[in-house]
Copies of this chain bind each other. A is one copy, B any other.
Amino acid sequence: MSTIIHKITTRDARYTLQPGEGVDAVHSAPQYSYAVCLLHSDRGVTGSGLAFTLGPGNDLVCAVIDALATPLAGREIEEVMADFGTIFRKMADHPQYRWLGPHKGIVHLALAAISNACFDLWAKSRGVPLWKLLLDLTPTQLVNTLDLSYFEDILPRQEAISLLRNEAATRDERTEVLQRGYRGYDTSVGWFNYSDEQIRDNAKRALDAGFAAMKLKVGSPDPERGIRRTLMVRETVGDNIQIMVDCNQQWTLPVALRVCLRLAEMNPYWVEEPTHPDDVLAHQTLARAISPIKIAAGEHLPNRILFKNYIQAGAMHFVQADAVRIGGVSEFLTVSLLAKKFGLPIVPHVGDMGQIHQHLVLFNRIALNMEEVLLEYIPHLRQHFVHPAIVANGVYQTPQDIGSSSDLHP
């Protein structure tokens, strides 16, 4: 049965958070927002695709979605997805909008929303959750949804297909994760402006809720504050809990070198975004100097090309691609295949509050045999999703609703 895209609209959805929620050293007043691409079909189902922003400018992302998505109008979704890599590249290389990136910033956020809407509509048209749709594809069909341009030197098309084929035989051994669920970590323990007392309370509450991993914001003009609070959380939760510290790009390289060595005694699971996200070589220098402390990055990397550079340079250990920042599900899978090749785990940043990524980590685990690490858990927008992710005892339960869990209440 064919599903034809007969109308494309956008929605500028902005939400008010509770005081302190989502605040870090640089994003002092976030208004969590989605630029939504809606692909209305002739069969009543609507593909919903998200890009994440902090409020102002969300309308500009919507404007670019309107402009870039036009080639999809009137197209049948199976036909679109049979060669989505080509369509993705065509939209990414729009002869005028490309100048405004290329492949970064507002124009690439728009592409993320469009790409996500296509995958959502595809899953809905087949009546399956996104993770099931992806697992049902052959390696060739999966790779046909990817734009592998500029990856010729590192992940040629045939090698991408082989990576998937090689893991196919053992796939059944890994489907147990569907029953067990995927382990989450609590990212909302230590927002930047929370008091020490709030953070201690949140850390205990996270333990009670079943989480064995949690994140603290430590980026600050005064690094001592972050060091002190990391020690406080370590003392609160004990030695067996994983603590991630997140600097939100606030350290210079010299400061990062000094502070990371100080943090070592608190045994952080990773140090996240230690400095500017475009500074591949600073991350490389840091990774070499602070071993065995590990670096997580990717929240602000705009596209697969920068991930390629980070990975080639040995500048990251945890790959935090975000499907609502880079070019959607398609480019997320491209980065996943590259990470697989290099033996690095994907631990998504979840601008989508984990809604889409809960599907994607299941695919990565089962189809790509990637290490099962953790999925960020952040509940601040729960009530706005039609099918909010269910996290019980610190574990994401496998979503059963059709699509990518991206539908927002009207």
Contacts and interface: CB of A to CB of B under 8 A. Distances in A.
Interface in A40-80: 53-57, 60-61, 63-64, 67
A31 interface: yes
A39 to B, nearest CB: 21
B96 A100 contact: no
A92 to B, nearest CB: 11
B308 A279 contact: yes
Given A152-B254, A254-B152, A305-B278, A29 B95 contact: yes
Interface stretch (A102-110, A131-139, A360-368): A102-110
Contacts of A54: 95-96, 99
Contacts of A153: 252-254, 282, 285
A60 B64 contact: yes
Given A278-B305, A305-B276, A98 B27 contact: yes
Contact of A279 (B53, B106, B309): B309
Interface string A80-101: 0000000000000101111111
Given A150-B279, A279-B305, A96 B60 contact: no
Which of A30, A31, A96 is packed against the most chain B CB atoms within 10 Å? A96
A97 B105 CA distance: 10
Give the copy number: 2
Which are the 3 A-B pairs with shortest beta-carbon distances? A105-B105, A278-B305, A152-B252
A276 B104 contact: no
A104 B302 contact: yes
Contacts of A56: 67, 96-97
Interface in A270-296: 275-282, 285
Contacts of A282: 150, 153
A28 B97 CA distance: 12
Contacts of A106: 60, 100, 105-107
Interface in A375-396: none
B152 A253 contact: yes
A97 B254 contact: no
A26 interface: yes
A156 to B, nearest CB: 9
B96 A30 contact: yes
Interface string A179-205: 000000000000000000000000000
12 contacts: A30-B95, A30-B99, A53-B99, A53-B100, A57-B99, A61-B100, A100-B105, A101-B105, A104-B104, A152-B252, A153-B282, A281-B309
A57 B107 contact: yes
Contacts of A63: 60
Given A57-B64, A105-B302, 9 more contacts: A26-B93, A26-B98, A60-B64, A100-B109, A104-B104, A106-B106, A150-B276, A152-B253, A152-B255
A150 B26 CA distance: 15
Contacts of A57: 64, 67, 96-97, 99-100, 107
A312 B284 CA distance: 12
A390 to B, nearest CB: 28
A96 B313 CA distance: 30
B107 A26 contact: no
Contacts of A150: 252-253, 275-276, 279, 282
A166 B106 CA distance: 42
Nearest to A29: B95
Nearest to A299: B99
A328 to B, nearest CB: 16
